[in-house]
């Protein structure tokens, strides 16, 4: 019993320190399949999430009208509901969860494509005007390294458009680390009715 408490406390402390240093925490195998199956993420469709999707879509259309878009960790493809179909050339959404991608397929069309793949291993010959990572960056062990990996898939003046929920201090270390390399071109804070705070930022590579 005492051993378990000490172990749990240690794990909590380690995670806190880890996040403060700008690292994320990946989820155990099967977590995403199980939670999507159980409907844990259905709330992402609720009205109180509209603010962050709207600002992300707004950034895309204002900064990269008619652009080629990649979303890493697209889940069920909910962002596409806020995108204007006539105002992007192509959208590719990727996600580690088969279950989520199955649900996303109902939103696919000739220029809106969903792929089930691990984000850290995605490879493509395509180049994108914007790469979006919405409520997902903190699920990678090394968020900065992930952005550096994806940078090669951006066009010369391409952008990262990222949102992270302010779950306590959780994402602050990640923003700090990421912003030591990438410049913030614009940022918006969304606060919904439940007082949940989301930071939405556009990052440029030079």
Helix (H, G, I), strand (E, B) or coil at 102: helix
Site for ligand SAM contains 158 (CB under 6 A): no
Residue with tokens 């050339």: 89
Part of the chain binding ligand SAM (CB under 6 A), chosen from 5-13, 72-80, 81-89, 169-177: 72-80
Name the nearest CA neighbour of 205 among 137, 142, 128: 128
Minimum CB–partner distance for residue 146 and ligand SAM (Å): 8
Candidates 57, 60, 69, 134: give the one binding ligand SAM (CB under 6 A): 134
Q: What is the full DSSP assignment across 145-171?
A: HHHHHHHTTEEEEEEEEEEEE--TTTT
Kind of pairing between the strands at 183-191 and 197-204: antiparallel
Residue 103 structure tokens: 């649900």
Site string for ligand SAM, 32-71 (x = CB under 6 A): x--------x--x---------------------------
CB closer to ligand SAM, 129 vs 135? 135
Part of the chain binding ligand SAM (CB under 6 A), chosen from 10-18, 58-66, 81-89, 131-139: 131-139
Contact 200, 162 (CB under 8 A): yes
- Cα separation values, 43 from 15, 39, 40, 50, 111, Å: 25, 8, 7, 11, 27
Site for ligand SAM contains 129 (CB under 6 A): no
Binding site for ligand SAM (CB under 6 A): 32, 41, 44, 73-75, 78, 95-97, 100, 118-120, 134-136, 139-140
């Amino acid at each position: 019993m005492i051993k378990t408490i000490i172990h749990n406390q240690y794990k909590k402390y380690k995670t806190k320190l880890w996040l403060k240093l700008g690292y994320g925490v990946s989820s155990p195998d099967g977590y995403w399949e199980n939670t999507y199956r159980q409907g844990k993420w259905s709330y992402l469709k609720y009205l109180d999430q509209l603010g962050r999707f709207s600002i992300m879509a707004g950034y895309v259309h204002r900064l990269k009208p008619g652009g080629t878009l990649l979303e890493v960790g697209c889940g069920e493809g909910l962002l596409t509901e806020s995108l204007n179909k006539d105002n992007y050339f192509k959208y590719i959404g990727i996600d580690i969860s088969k279950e989520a991608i199955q649900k996303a397929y109902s939103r696919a069309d000739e220029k809106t494509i969903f792929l089930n793949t691990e984000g850290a291993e995605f490879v493509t010959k395509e180049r994108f005007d914007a790469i979006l990572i919405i409520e997902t960056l903190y699920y990678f062990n090394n968020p900065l390294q992930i952005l550096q990996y994806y940078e090669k898939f951006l066009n010369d003046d391409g952008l990262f458009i990222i949102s992270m929920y302010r779950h306590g201090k959780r994402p602050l270390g990640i923003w700090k680390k990421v912003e030591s390399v990438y410049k913030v071109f614009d940022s918006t804070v969304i606060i919904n009715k439940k007082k949940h705070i989301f930071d939405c930022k556009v990052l440029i590579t030079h």
